[in-house]
Amino acid sequence: MQSYYIQTFGCQMNYSDSERMESYLQALGLTKGTSFHDSDIILFNTCSIKQKAEDKVYGYMKQISEIKKDKPDLMVVVAGCMVRNSSSKYSSERDRLFSTMRELDIALKTEELPKLAMLAREIDPETKIPEIEEESLEDYFKISPTHDSAPSKAQAFVAISNGCDKFCTYCIVPYSRGREKSRKFDDIIAECKQLAENGCKEVTLIGQTVNSYGLSKYDGEHETFGYLGEKEPFVYLLEELDKLSELGLERVRFTSPHPKDMSDQLIDAMATLKTQMPHLHLPVQSGDNNTLKRMNRTYTVEKYRDIVEKLRAKIPDISISTDIIVGFCGETDEEYQNTCDFFREMGFEHAYISQYSERRGTTAQRFIKDDIAAPVKKQRWYDLNEILKDNSRKSLERFRGRTVNVLVENKHDDMYFGRNEHYKSVQFRSGRELIGKIVPVKITEVGEWHLEGELV
Ligand code: SF4
């Protein structure tokens, strides 16, 4: 029997895709290998959000080249964001990756996963990978994921859309993953229902801009979204998922929403549905309108502030985290200072702060000069992280003495780790078996990034 090994890079969406790839390969009769060395097929599920992420894959190819010397039949597949055209090394129209990766056998677009068997036949007509029926080629989302990338069995990531229509100038996703397409509503509900019946307590809905679910012009063709009237498809989805609390589903999170689609309806749903948690990760990217414009973020600082004010009015204790890029093309000292001021004003409790780096194929790379010197980017990154540390410490202080509910994710010796309603990392000791349970913990200590407490 043939075995496979999947190496995943990038965001949670890619890990979710790998879960689908995994169950697809298992359905074909392949078994999971433990390393590159004991596998017949190695699949790299790639990310192209940054040049560094692509360079990592090229780095692995040196290792693969060595393994192939002893194992010439090893099949190397590159899938995911780096691929533009599903093809094998013998296809007439090959992906551009074949010109830079001589170890590569198959390039596979994620949504074309079912083409793997056909492409494998181009490499080896005798391959043991069976063909699958035409019917199941239709929709990549129909492949059930293994759900094993979440920290515990009580949690699962559920993809609800793929691709993006927003075209931020620094981002490759609309080109690598294509235009936004939403998954069928009933399929999402069915998957979540099954998860809840199997003991899942927390579902995180994922998509590039998760809250524009069902709003893309390509989704207009979907009959599912036609009958909702004034109700937004994403809000309707949250409402229907809320009903699964009867089956034991307690938490529904989503990531990442786009500020443009943060509607009043959605804020109301977050404030009223019992499965909604008091935490939102809402990428802002910059606190300056000129920078936002160059980034094509399609909202202003004022609009973002308005959303946060509405959220805080309806959910007073909500934790808000964000993404920021510092040193974007043309970011002046004043613009950067505006971002720092906005960061403090919004009281972001957590943030993924990155230094801008040019990404080949994006609008910014083609038309806007990457003119901020590396040491300046580094210094801005460092300074903003200092503000973040301060915000984080202050935000965690409010939990001291409070009892919070922790979904327990893992443990080392007798120390348990999990997350509370606000998505804060919480540690506590216990001798009992608690992984996958939601337990009350009284907070006794506050660290820079986490809380510690005692089981109540
Ligand atoms: S919203 Fe912008 S940053 Fe996010 S995936 Fe779409 S284009 Fe990229």
Q: Is the CB of 172 under 6 A from ligand 1?
A: no
**CATH classification number, 3-137, choose in 3.90.1310.10, 3.40.1130.10, 3.40.50.12160, 1.20.1340.10:** 3.40.50.12160
Q: What is the pLDDT of residue 115?
A: 87
pTM for the whole structure: 0.92
Q: What is the pLDDT of residue 271?
A: 98
HEC sequence for 278-335: CEEECCCECCCHHHHHHHCCCCCHHHHHHHHHHHHHHCCCCEEEEEEEECCCCCCHHH
Q: What is the pLDDT of residue 113?
A: 86
Tell me the Cα Rg of the chain: 23
- Quote the ligand 1 centre to 173 CA distance (angstroms): 6
Using CA positions, which residue lies closest to atom 5 of ligand 1? 208
C-alpha 262/C-alpha 265 separation (Å) is: 8
- Looking at domain 141-397, what is its CATH homologous superfamily? tm_1862 like domain (3.80.30.20)
Structure tokens at 313: 């009015």
Pocket test for ligand 1, best of 47, 50, 167, 323 (most atoms within 8 A of CB): 167
Residue ranges of the domains in the chain? 3-137, 141-397, 403-455
Q: What is the pLDDT of residue 238?
A: 98
Q: Looking at ligand 1, which atom is closest to the CA of residue 177?
A: 5
C-alpha 54/C-alpha 146 separation (Å) is: 26
Using CA positions, which residue lies closest to atom 2 of ligand 1? 168
- Quote the ligand 1 centre to 283 CA distance (angstroms): 10
Region of 436 please: left (phi>0), alpha (psi -120 to 50) or beta.
Answer: left
Q: Is the CB of 173 under 6 A from ligand 1?
A: yes
pLDDT digits (tens), the chain, 456 positions: 689 999 999 888 899 999 999 988 898 888 999 999 999 999 999 998 878 888 999 999 999 999 999 999 899 999 998 998 999 999 999 999 999 999 999 999 988 888 888 898 888 887 777 776 654 555 778 888 888 888 888 999 999 999 999 999 999 999 888 889 899 899 999 999 999 999 999 999 999 999 999 988 776 556 556 567 788 999 999 999 999 999 999 999 999 999 999 999 999 999 999 999 999 999 999 999 999 999 999 999 999 999 999 999 999 999 999 999 999 999 999 999 999 999 999 999 999 999 999 988 899 999 999 999 999 999 999 999 999 999 999 999 999 999 999 999 999 999 999 999 999 999 999 999 999 999 999 999 999 999 999 999
What letter represents residue 211's amino acid? Answer: N
Q: Looking at ligand 1, which atom is closest to the CA of residue 297?
A: 2
C-alpha distances (whole Å) from 115 to each of 79, 119, 138 are 11, 6, 11
Q: What is the pLDDT of residue 225?
A: 66
C-alpha 357/C-alpha 69 separation (Å) is: 36
Q: What is the CATH number of domain 403-455?
A: 2.40.50.140
The angle at the Cα of 95, spanning 37 to 365, to the nearest 5 degrees, equals: 105
Q: What is the pLDDT of residue 314?
A: 98
C-alpha 380/C-alpha 328 separation (Å) is: 11
C-alpha 110/C-alpha 258 separation (Å) is: 23
- Quote the ligand 1 centre to 256 CA distance (angstroms): 10
Q: Is the CB of 77 under 6 A from ligand 1?
A: no
Whether the bond between 245 and the residue before it is cis, its omega within 30 degrees of 0, is: no
